[in-house]
Amino acid sequence: MAALIGKQAIVIGAGLGGLAAAGAISDYFERVIVFERDPLPSIAQTRPGTPQSPHTHALLGGGKLALESLFPGFTMALTKAGAVSYRAGLDLLAELPGFDPFPQRDVGWDAYSMSRPLIEYVVRQQLERRRNIEFRDRCRVEEIVMTDGTGGSVDAVHWRTAAVLVKSWPRTSSLTAPVVAL
């Protein structure tokens, strides 16, 4: 069991950066709250907050290893959700304008073909299984209130919901440094 750093941490944004950050810190805080301004879809789907998501994405070897180490079983879950594995360098013919096609050779690892929303969805599912992680979607963070103004610790975050109601959470000084991923 990892030594706790603090009671609560805040992650802003449930994109891949925010999800990976939440996974990395979840063993070190009693509770991790992820704020996301979009409604989070219950299927692999594009959303306005990640306008790049319909574009072609590739999950590179380093990214796969990092996600697997943060979320053991990630690769298997990705395949189960529909990702198709292929042999990097061998099963894919890469061409760039003005160059000959890259030579096909086995570079020694498997890559995966899937949409970016599928990666995000699978990672989010892995996090949702962790009891100390809470997702608050439809919450746009508007302000991070620092205790001493230096960025050392956080008193509160202010957010806005779809109902245009500004709330404040929490008004205590028990938070330690937040993780902010925009």
Ligand X SMILES: Cc1cc2nc3c(=O)[nH]c(=O)nc-3n(C[C@H](O)[C@H](O)[C@H](O)COP(=O)(O)OP(=O)(O)OC[C@H]3O[C@@H](n4cnc5c(N)ncnc54)[C@H](O)[C@@H]3O)c2cc1C
What gap in Å lies between CA 65 and CA 67, rounded to an integer? 6
What phi and psi values does residue 120 have, to the nearest 5 degrees?
-60, -40
Among 9, 10, 11, 18, binds ligand X (CB under 6 A): 18
- Kind plus residue range of the DSSP H or E element containing 16: helix 16-25
Own/partner contacts of 160-168, CB < 8 Å, gap of 24 or more, are 162/138, 166/142
Among 52, 101, 129, 171, binds ligand X (CB under 6 A): 52
Q: How far is the CB of 160 from ligand X (least distance, A)?
A: 9
Nearer to ligand X, 1 or 25 (CB): 25
Q: How far is the CB of 11 from ligand X (least distance, A)?
A: 9
Q: Looking at residues 93 to 112 of the shown chain, list those that interact with ligand X (rule: CB under 6 A).
A: none
Nearer to ligand X, 35 or 71 (CB): 35
Q: What token pair was written down for 87?
A: 């042999």
Residue 23 touches ligand X, criterion: CB under 6 A: no
